[in-house]
Amino acid sequence: MSVDLPHAHGEAVLQARLRAAPEDFVVDELPGFEPTGQGEHLLLTVRKRGMNTAHAARCIAQWAGVGDVAIGYAGLKDRHAVTTQRFTVHLPKRNAPAVETLTIDDALGERLEVLDHTWHAKKLPRGALAGNRFVLVLRDVEGDRAAIDARLSAIAARGVPNYFGEQRFGRGGNNVGSALAMFAGRRVRRDQRSVLLSAARSELFNRVLAARIRSACWDTALEGEVWMLDGTRSVFGPQPLDEALAERLATFDIHPTGPLWGEGALRTQEAAAALELDALADADAVALRAGLERAGLRQERRALRLRPEALQWRWPDETSLELSFALPPGTYATSVLAELGDVAAAGRD
Tell me the catalytic residues. 78
CB 111 within 8 A of CB 48: yes
Angle at which helices 174-183 and 190-214 cross, to 10°: 110
Q: In whole angstroms, what is the distance from residue 28 CA to residue 311 CA? A: 15
Please state the three-class secondary structure of 236-280 as a single string: ECCCCCCHHHHHHHHCCCEEEEEEECCECCCCCCHHHHHHHHHHC
Q: How far is CA 65 from CA 69, 71, 334, in A?
A: 12, 11, 37
Q: Could you tell me how many residues make up the chain?
A: 349
Peptide bond into 238 cis (omega under 30): yes
Q: In whole angstroms, what is the distance from residue 173 CA to residue 243 CA? A: 42
Sign, CA dihedral 116-121-126-127, equals negative
β pairing state of 235-236 and 111-120 = unpaired
Neighbour-count burial of 189, counting CB atoms closer than 10 A to its CB (0-12 exposed, 13-18 middle, 19+ buried): exposed
Which of 132, 207, 134 minimizes the C-alpha distance to 164?
207
β pairing state of 82-90 and 25-31 = parallel
Q: How many CA atoms lie within 13 A of 152 on its CB side?
A: 20
